[in-house]
Amino acid sequence: MITPRRHFPLVTHPMTTAAQRQLWTLSYQRVVGSARSELRSHAGRRRLDVQAADGTKIEFQQSKDSVPNTHSKELSHATGLMWVFSAINQHFTTDLLITSRQGARANFTWTNPWRLIASCNARTMLDLGLSPQIGAHVLLEVDHFELGTGTAFGTAVLRDAQEFCHWMRDGHPLLPYAWTPRAA
């Protein structure tokens, strides 16, 4: 008998309060449980939001952090770090838009972008929430981010949020989003 995969409750819509933003991080931490979340490293000085099943260190950010702070975290974790930024509000206000896609590959533009995304050296994801453009809760795994004047352009791979959670918790392969066209 095949057991259905668990569905994880995540924040999928715009957040306006500090409590809602905190719940966004907590919902991802609850996926892996307390044994692999809020971990201290480097003699207790640095906090790590989540450690994935494969050892990847994941930092969740709800807002634009400073570039020096971002670089400091990247240096302290050395290797195996992943950033997940909540871009839900930016996507819902259409500041961040998917401009084209072919399967799981997507091009995007971001008006008034967070400049620190361009400075990230670690693997970077943008959580779009329940995307009105895609019709599902997806993350963009950014592989190119170019700052222009007031607008950024980039390319990314779409990832399903639930599949991302199963990867974090159990180490399942993190496959590209399985996009199928909606009927007209």
Q: Is 77 part of any domain?
A: yes
Phi-psi region of 33 (alpha: psi -120 to 50; beta: other; left: phi over 0): left
On whether the CB atoms of residues 23 and 55 are closer than 8 A, the answer is no
Q: If you average pLDDT over residues 58-82, what whole number do you get?
A: 72
Does some domain include residue 71? yes
For residue 3, tell me if it sits in a domain.
Answer: no
Instruction: Kindly give, in sequence order, each residue whose CB lies less than 8 Å from that of residue 12, ignoring residues fewer than 6 positions away.
Output: 88, 129, 130, 137, 161
Question: Model-level pTM?
Answer: 0.89
Stretch 91-97: mean pLDDT = 97
Note whether 125 and 167 are within 8 A (CB): no
Residue 42 lies in a domain: yes
How many secondary structure helices (H) and strands (E) does the chain include? 5, 9
Measured over the CA atoms of residue 11, residue 8, residue 128 and residue 184, the dihedral's sign is negative
In a domain, 176, yes or no: no
Q: What pLDDT score does 1 carry?
A: 46
Per-residue pLDDT at 31 exceeds 50: yes
The answer to the question of residue 24 being in a domain is yes
Output the six-digit token pair for 128: 């779009």
Which pLDDT value is given to residue 69? Answer: 66
Mean pLDDT for 114-137 is: 93
What distance in Å separates the CA atoms of residue 45 and residue 4, rounded to the nearest whole number? 40
Whether residue 42 is predicted with pLDDT greater than 70 in this model: the reply is: no
* Residues spanned by the domain of 126: 18-170
Tally the domains of the chain: 1
Position 30: which residue type?
A: R
Is the pLDDT at 65 greater than 70, yes or no?
no
Residue 68's pLDDT band (boundaries 50, 70, 90)? low
Residue 46 lies inside a defined structural domain of this protein: yes
The answer to whether residue 128 is domain-embedded is: yes
C-alpha to C-alpha distance for 114 and 112, rounded to whole angstroms: 7
Q: Tell me how many degrees the CA angle 153-104-151 measures, rounded to the nearest 5.
A: 10
Taking the C-alpha atoms of residue 77 and residue 175, their distance in angstroms, rounded to an integer, is 25
pLDDT at 181: 58
Percent of the chain with pLDDT over 70: 83
> Tokens for 73?
């975290």
